[in-house]
């Protein structure tokens, strides 16, 4: 059995900048300041983003922890509005719909999420592009842990607890658009597949040694082969 874990932003979809606009609106409401233009969100968890931005504005960790849940609650309200802003429509990336159907048709694959989004934000973004969140059977979210490298362990544990599946690290596949997605696969021994639909080019991603790199997910046959590890060097099924 393979556990195939998709990142959301930059991998399955573009949320049209709604996450940045929403967190910005929450910070403006609480503290009166905005997210600096040069600050990047990709590869980070929502809680990590809140912490880094608040630290940069001089808040200490006790203050940050005290505000975290309230800031994220307001973020989610603003996100719901930002996702339906006709000026910045979210969109599904090429090949995603067909790839998901192909994976769902197999009986040796469980499809899931590994995302820095808190769970309600993840579900809102997926729904905004017409993907039913329930199609992702296992989820590890930014609401589960602030540090992305912990999330593969969350997904593994959830597969055991909710599906009774013991999935070894090498039978897990992490698909994402940033070096952080690739890096988070290492600790558990999962394979990483990188896709250059986010900010990073194929060359930049390749420098972090993923199992495979794709420009986008539209070559279903090749992407499927990479997911299933049909390269002769990985037979570590659970």
Residues making contact with Mg ion (CB under 5 A): 7, 9-10, 177
Is-contact 107 116, C-beta < 8 A?
A: no
Minimum CB distance to Mg ion smaller for 165 or for 175: 175
- Minimum distance from CB of 233 to Mg ion (Å)? 26
CB distance 53 to 27 below 8 Å: yes
State the nearest-atom distance from the C-beta of 236 to Mg ion, in Å: 26
The answer to whether the Cα torsion of 56, 57, 58, 59 is positive or negative is: negative
Torsion of CA 101, 103, 104, 106, to 10 degrees: 130
Contact, 194 vs 204, CB < 8 A?
no
**Number of residue whose CB is nearest Mg ion:** 10
**Residue 176 C-beta: closest distance to Mg ion, Å:** 5
Smallest distance from the beta carbon of 112 to Mg ion, in angstroms?
15
Q: Which is nearer to Mg ion, 9 or 144 (CB)?
A: 9
Which of residues 30 and 40 has its CB atom nearest to Mg ion in the complex?
40
The residue with tokens 């992305």 is 148
Element spanning 144, H or E: none
CB closer to Mg ion out of 117 and 211: 117
Whether 90 contacts 18, CB under 8 Å: yes
CB of 43 to Mg ion, least distance (A): 6
d(CA 113, CA 216): 18
Q: Indicate the residue among 146 and 177 with the shorter CB distance to Mg ion.
A: 177
């Amino acid at each position: 059995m393979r556990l195939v874990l998709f990142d959301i932003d930059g991998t399955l979809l573009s949320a049209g900048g709604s996450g940045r606009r929403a967190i910005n609106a929450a910070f403006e409401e609480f503290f009166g300041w905005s997210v600096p233009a040069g600050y990047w969100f990709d590869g980070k968890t929502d809680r990590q983003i809140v912490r880094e931005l608040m630290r940069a504005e001089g808040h200490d960790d006790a203050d940050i922890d005290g505000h975290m849940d309230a800031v994220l609650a307001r973020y989610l309200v603003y996100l719901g509005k930002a996702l339906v802003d006709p000026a910045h429509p979210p969109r599904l990336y090429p090949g995603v719909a067909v790839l998901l159907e192909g994976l769902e048709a197999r009986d040796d694959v469980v499809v899931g999420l590994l995302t820095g989004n808190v769970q309600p934000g993840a579900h809102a973004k997926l729904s905004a592009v017409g993907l039913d969140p329930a199609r992702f059977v296992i989820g590890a979210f930014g609401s589960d842990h602030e540090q992305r490298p912990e999330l593969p362990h969350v997904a593994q544990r959830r597969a055991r607890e909710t599906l009774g599946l013991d999935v070894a690290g090498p039978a897990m596949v992490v698909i994402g658009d940033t070096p952080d997605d690739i890096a988070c696969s290492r600790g558990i021994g999962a394979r990483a597949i990188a896709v250059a639909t986010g900010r990073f080019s194929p060359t930049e991603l390749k420098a972090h040694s993923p199992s495979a790199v794709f420009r986008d997910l539209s070559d279903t046959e090749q992407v499927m082969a990479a997911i299933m590890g049909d390269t002769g060097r990985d037979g570590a099924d659970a």
